[in-house]
Amino acid sequence: MWQRETFKKIKQIPREEHVLPGTALCAGCGGLEALRLAAKVLGDHVVYVNAAGCFTMLAAYPYTSFKGSWLYTTMGSAPAGAQGVRDALDVLIAKGKLPKSEDVKVVVLGGDGSTYDMALSSTSGALHRKLDFYYICYDNEAYGNTGMQLSPATPYAARTATSPCSVQHPAATAQEKKNIFEIWRAHRPPYIATVAPRYPLDLEEKFARAAAFTGPKMFLALSACPTGWVYDPGETPEVAKLAVETGLWPLKEAINGVVTHTYIPKRKPVEAYLKLQGRFRHLFEPTVHTDAIRHIQERVDAYWQQVTKEQA
Amino acid sequence: MDSQMMTGNLAAAWGARLADVDYIPAFPITPQTEIVEALAKWCARGEVAARFVSMDSEHSMMTAAGAAEVAGARVFTATSSQGLLHAFEVLYSISGWRAPLVLVNVSRALAAPITLESDHNDVLAARDAGFLQIHAETCQEVLDSILMAYRIAEDERIMLPVIVNLDGFTLSFTREPVSLPDPEMVRRFLPPFRPSHLGFTASSAQALGVAVIGGTSYAYFRHQVHLAARNALEVHGEAAESFHALFGRRYDLVEGYRLEDADDVLVMTNAGASKGKAAVDAARTQGKRVGLLRLRVIRPWPAEAIRQALRGRRGVAVLDQNLAPGQGGILYQEVAACLYHEPARPRALCSFIGGLGGQNLSAGEFHAIVEQTAEAGVAGSGLGPVLLYSAEEHREMTQLQMLAGGHA
């Protein structure tokens, strides 16, 4: 049974904020909430290496949301940017040109479009080279900054601007969500975790645990997205919670490849999650797509049956 | 000073070694690979105190290079052709970050059709990226230009990246005598990299490459890149002066060859200029007053030096080893533009396209270029773009087409 060691009570989460308020991001951004919580463990001695995406607007001249550093790279190579910064810091410290006390953590911030698609080679390279860095993917399951187009992170049956409902595809997106967790795990980094900001103690605990490892520390953060998923910004906590409680977003970690589920939901029916969001409305109106909903439920059930089998 | 026989590639590696670089992200590509192989070996043996990292692509390689440079390390890397284009968007980022790294490009023609030998469409595609560009003719110049490139790039008036270009095969794999500068004297020429406003540290944070909203900020920062690049005209002169004083070799923005009394002038770049110089010598033996102007620094564009060299000439031929389809020669356009306001501009400006993908430039073709340029100068009317293709090449190609069509 997985136990939190550092963060047992909500009061243990530091009150100090490291992502400053007043960003240009959408109201109710679930990804920003995940980052805000992550930064409470990461602190200010950080350089965020950013790929093109929603979070790029966190540093827009002449403002930045961070007391730490920021480097915007490209959409396809933020992990390579992290490689350059980490290597430079290591070399300068080794040569005595920079005191060790000046060292900073290197943290990639990329959305799912960058992470699942364009930066996959760059990420694979960084994992293969065992780069000592953090990677936070804020996963809102579509190319969000450009207005919600299909990405490989888009789940089956979600409607996006480029995977609309049609006679041929009445359930909208026909593909299943790419399993980036397993792609990462195949590289055997020391630490991988999925997180959801509605489970803050789970999230904080994972960042605290990751700090003990040298090498890639990979985080996949559920980023409920009112703008793209089409629900009221005030409902982000409920949507994020139901993603976990229906079993659609498993909370887990992998230490040197060994997977542990950190929270076992009782599993509400997936309808409870789907019904809240406009991107799934076509499954319920004007007619109910029973097959599509059943397919989603069966996929979740199969996933958790496998988890139970492996635990037994 | 002792000279050693070495290839252009090895001379490039020695340039990085003598510059005492901190970091070398690398990715193999022909004909550049020998450079990073040499550096990998030296780093592994501890002969170069740099971290060598094998990256997953040139796109990643250039990103890592720029990121390490803005974190405060002196960075060297190298590529060619498809690799340069694969990294293309990153080139603009690096100049925007004001990261003064040095990139060696070993010129190779671009696909399709895929090939290995040299022309300059790769490096000239990057002419608007905000990198300064130095194009070398000899192996010695490759090494020396890398040292000069760091000195210029890291000058606070510049803070821009530099590409040092050499021709694939004709220079990369050709051995020439190269004098290795004394490391202690190199340190005098090129002090350690101590940037005053770069670095990501715990006590001093910075946000770099941040988004801007609207053209006011965007234009401001890109204007800064342009103005800094223009500063390099002066800074290059200072570096050349200092280099000459220490090492006895002098490199200017452009190089004139037998220009003093020349009626007509060939304009060339890179290793091909050596062939051009031989053609000038041949024409001189026939009593023709011909000279050659080699463009060495391509960015910043040395407009004034070019005007001075070409002022009052009769015919000028720009021999472009590149092709802008639907336009012609890239350097021809730039030479023409900078002569427009020159009252004593040459009577004729001719454009020749040759040496694409390692295509041979024969003595006969040079002879024809010299003749036609002189005639154009007399007539006062320009010529071209002329696509050089000899009768021999035509015969060879016809045979290949017969084979391809199964008619042999």
- Please measure the distance between the N-terminal and C-terminal CA atoms of chain A and give it in whole angstroms: 12
- In a 3-state reduction of DSSP, which class is residue B223? helix
Q: Which residues of B116-132 are buried (b: 16+ CB within 10 A; e: fewer)?
A: ebbbbbbbbbbbebbbb
Higher pLDDT, A22 or B246: B246
Question: pLDDT tens for residues A213-235?
Answer: 999 999 999 999 999 999 999 99
Instruction: Please check whether residues B85 and B215 belong to one and the same domain.
Output: yes
Per-residue DSSP letters for chain A? ----SS--SGGGS----SB-S--SSPTT-HHHHHHHHHHHHH-SSEEEEE-SSGGGGGEETTEESBSSEEEE--SS-HHHHHHHHHHHHHHHHHTTSS-GGG--EEEEEEEHIIIIIITHHHHHHHHHTT--EEEEEEE-SSBTTTT-B--TTPPTT--BTTB---SS-TTS--SPPP-HHHHHHTT--SEEEEE-TTSHHHHHHHHHHHTT-SSEEEEEEE---HHHHTS-GGGHHHHHHHHHHTTSS--EEEETTEEEES-------THHHHTT-GGGGGGTSSS--HHHHHHHHHHHHHHHHHHHHHH-
- Answer yes or no: do B47 and B145 share one domain: yes
- Interchain contact A130–B (C-beta under 8 A): no
Q: Which of B201, B220, B221 to mutate to test the interface with A (most CBs of A within 10 A)?
A: B201
Q: Quick check: bond before A250 cis, omega within 30?
A: no
Would residue B399 count as lying in a domain?
Answer: no
B1 has pLDDT over 60: no
If one counts the domains in chain B, the total is 2
- Using the Cβ of B61 and the Cβ atoms of chain A, whether some distance falls under 8 Å is answered with yes
Q: What is the extent of the structural domain holding B311?
A: 254-394
Mean pLDDT score across all residues of chain B: 97
Please, what is the Cα angle at B311 between B308 and B314, to 5 degrees? Answer: 145
Whether B186 and B285 map to the same domain: the answer is no
Query: Same structural domain for residues B30 and B101?
Result: yes
Residues 195-254 of B with CB under 8 A from A: 199-203, 205-213, 217
Chain-chain contact of B208 with A69 (C-beta, under 8 angstroms):
yes
Cβ-Cβ contacts under 8 Å, B51 against chain A? 87, 90-91
Cα within 13 Å of Cα(A128), Cβ side = 12
One domain, residues B145 and B163:
yes
From B201, B221, B247, the end of a domain falls on: B247
Check CB contact under 8 Å for A74 and B59: yes
CATH of the domain at B27: 3.40.50.970
* Whole-number pLDDT of residue A312: 81
Helix (H) or strand (E) holding B79: strand B76-79
**Does the structure show a pLDDT above 90 at B2?**
no
CB hemisphere CA count around B31 (13 angstroms) = 28
Extract long-range pairs of B243-250: CB within 8 Å, 24+ residues apart: B243/B144, B243/B147, B243/B148, B243/B151, B243/B189, B246/B181, B246/B185, B246/B188, B246/B189, B247/B144, B247/B181, B247/B185, B247/B189, B249/B140, B249/B144
Q: Are residues B166 and B201 in the same domain?
A: yes
Domain membership of residue B407 (yes or no) is no
Out of A45, A56, A57, the one facing B202 most closely (by C-beta) is A45
In the Cβ-directed half-sphere of B52, how many Cα atoms lie within 13 Å?
Answer: 23
Is residue B380 pLDDT above 90, yes or no?
yes
For A242: left if phi > 0, alpha if psi spans -120 to 50, otherwise beta; the answer is alpha
Contacts of A76 in chain B (CB under 8 A): 59
From the list B53, B59, B201, the residue facing A129 with the nearest CB is B53
Average confidence (pLDDT) over A276-287: 96
For residue B180, is it within any domain? yes
Is residue B109 within 8 Å of residue B358, measured between CB atoms?
yes
Same domain, B262 and B136: no
Nearest to B200 among A95, A104, A128 (CB): A104
Domain assignment of residue B240, yes or no: yes
Q: Are A112 and A140 in contact (CB under 8 A)?
A: yes
User: Using an 8 Å Cβ cutoff, are B319 and B369 in contact?
Assistant: yes
Per-residue pLDDT tens over the stretch B267-317: 999 999 999 999 999 999 999 999 999 999 999 999 999 999 999 999 999
- Peptide bond between residue B191 and the one before it cis (omega within 30 degrees of 0): no
What percent of chain A clears pLDDT 90, i.e. is strictly above it?
97
Q: How far is CA A118 from CA A123, B65, B123, B264, in A?
A: 9, 19, 25, 52
pLDDT digits (tens, 9 = 90+) for A240-254: 999 999 999 999 999
At A27-63, the pLDDT tens digits run: 999 999 999 999 999 999 999 999 999 999 999 999 9
Q: Is residue B405 part of a domain?
A: no
Give the distance from residue B205's alpha carbon to the nearest chain A alpha carbon, in angstroms.
Answer: 5
* Contact call for A122 and B207, based on CB within 8 A: no
Helix (H) or strand (E) holding B388: none
Confidence of residue A81 (pLDDT cuts 50, 70, 90): very high
Residue B253 predicted with pLDDT over 60 = yes
In chain B, residues 133-162 whose CB comes closer than 8 Å to chain A: none
Can you tell me the distance from the alpha carbon of B208 to that of A60, in angstroms, rounded to the nearest whole number?
A: 10
Task: Tell me how close the Cα of B150 comes to any Cα of chain A, in angstroms.
Answer: 17
- Rg of chain B on CA atoms, in Å: 22
Q: Residue A1 above 90 pLDDT?
A: no
Asked if residue B186 and residue B81 are part of one domain, the reply reads yes
Q: Tell me, what CATH number does B305's domain have?
A: 3.40.50.920
CB A150 within 8 A of CB A160: yes
| Integer Cα distance of B64 and A74 in angstroms | 11
Looking at residue B122, its amino acid is D
Helix (H) or strand (E) holding B367, with range, is: helix B363-379
∠ CA B174-B175-B179, nearest 5°, is 135
pLDDT attached to residue B173: 97
Closest CA to A141 of A41, A69, A23, A221: A221
State the nearest Cα–Cα gap between A27 and chain B, in angstroms: 20
Least Cα separation, residue B81 to chain A (angstroms): 20
Instruction: Point out the domain boundary residue: B232, B247, B262.
Output: B247
Q: What CA–CA distance (Å, rounded) separates B148 from A287?
A: 72
Q: Report the half-sphere exposure of B400 (CA within 13 A, side-chain side).
A: 6
State how far residue B11 is from chain A, nearest Cα, in angstroms.
25
Is B71 in the A-facing interface, judged by CB distances under 8 Å? yes
Q: List beta partners, residue B267.
A: B293, B318
Q: B404 lies in a domain?
A: no
Residue ranges and CATH numbers for the domains of chain A are 10-311 (3.40.50.970)
Mark yes or no for CB contact A61/B202 under 8 Å: no
Domain boundary among B247, B263, B292: B247
Q: Do B314 and B363 fall within a single domain?
A: yes
Quote the percentage of chain B above a pLDDT of 90: 98
Residues B199 and B275 in one domain: no
Parallel/antiparallel/unpaired status of strands B175-179 and B3-7: antiparallel
| CB neighbour class for B147 (10 Å; exposed up to 12, middle 13-18, buried from 19) | buried
Predicted complex ipTM: 0.97
pLDDT digits (tens, 9 = 90+) for B319-362: 999 999 999 999 999 999 999 999 999 999 999 999 999 999 99
A93 in reach of chain B (CB within 8 A) = no
Q: Please report whether residue B401 resides in a domain.
A: no
Whole-number Å distance between alpha carbons of B190 and B144: 12
Residue B407: pLDDT band with limits 50, 70, 90 = confident
Displacement of CA B112 from its chain's centroid (Å): 22
Residues B218 and B125 in one domain: yes
Is any Cβ of chain A less than 8 angstroms from the Cβ of B84?
no
- Asked whether residue B126 falls in the same domain as residue B275, the answer is no
Whether residue B402 is contained in a domain is answered as no
Strand A69-72 with A105-111, pairing? unpaired
Q: Chain B contacts of A98, Cβ < 8 Å? A: 72, 199, 201
